[in-house]
Amino acid sequence: MSNGALTIGFDPGLATTGYGVVQAGDNGWVVLDGGIISTPHGLSRPQRLRDIYNEARGLIERYHPLGIAIEEIFFATNARTAMLTAETRGVILMATYGLPVRGYTPLQVKKRITGYGKARKQQVQAMVKKLLNLAETPKPDDMADGLALALCYLFDLQGVNKEEHDYL
C-alpha cells in the first residue's frame, strides 16, 4: 500500500459535483472528507463554474493531494448535459493545476471497484462502503462516486489493474 498517499476524486456536474478525499493508511484506506459542491440554478453559468472552481481549489489547498481522479464524460443521448459536464470538468482541471490528474470512465470505475464493468450503482456503493470500512453506504450518490474515483487513483499507485489515465 502507498502509505500516506492521499487523493481527491471528483464526479463533475454543474448542479452537483461529488468529491471524496481518501488516504492510504496502515490498515487500509481512510476517508478524510466527502460531499458535494452544489450550485443554485438561479446563478449564471459562469458564476456556477467559478463557485465549483473555488470549492475544488479549496479542497486541494486544504488536503494537498498526491493526485486527482476525475470522471471522464460519458456521452449519452443528452448533448446539453454532456456539454455542461465538460465545462465543469474544465474548471476542475484548472483547479488541479500542477498536480497529476487521472481520468476514469464510468465503466473503468465500476470494473476497478466491483470487478465488473456493468455493475449497478448500488453495487459500486456497497463495495465503496466495504473497501473504506464505512458504517453506512456513502450518500449522496455523487459523493460515493467521488470516493470511488479516489480509490481508483490509489489502486493505480498500488499497481492494481494499472492502466494509464494520466493527463500530465
Specify whether 141 is catalytic. no
Total domains present in the chain: 1
51, 55, 141, 142: the active-site residue: 142
| 127 is a domain residue | no
11, 55, 145, 156: the active-site residue: 11
Please write the tens of the pLDDT for every residue from 4-51.
899 999 999 999 999 999 999 888 899 999 999 999 999 999 999 999
Banded pLDDT at 134 (limits 50, 70, 90): very high
| 92 is a domain residue | yes
| 65 is a domain residue | yes
Query: Residue 10 in contact with residue 142, Cβ under 8 Å?
Result: no
**What does each C-alpha distance from 10 to 20, 100, 149, 160 come to in angstroms?**
7, 14, 7, 20
Please write the tens of the pLDDT for every residue from 45-83.
999 999 999 999 999 999 999 999 999 987 666 788 888
Q: Give the range among 23-27, 111-115, 131-135, 147-151 with minimum mean pLDDT.
A: 23-27
55, 71, 145, 156: the active-site residue: 71
| 55 is a domain residue | yes
The CATH number of the domain holding residue 99 is 3.30.420.10
Which residue range forms the structural domain that includes residue 148? 6-105+140-158
Specify whether 26 is catalytic. no
| 75 is a domain residue | yes
Query: Residue 150 in contact with residue 9, Cβ under 8 Å?
Result: yes
pTM to 2 decimals?
A: 0.92
Specify whether 61 is catalytic. no
Query: Residue 8 in contact with residue 69, Cβ under 8 Å?
Result: yes
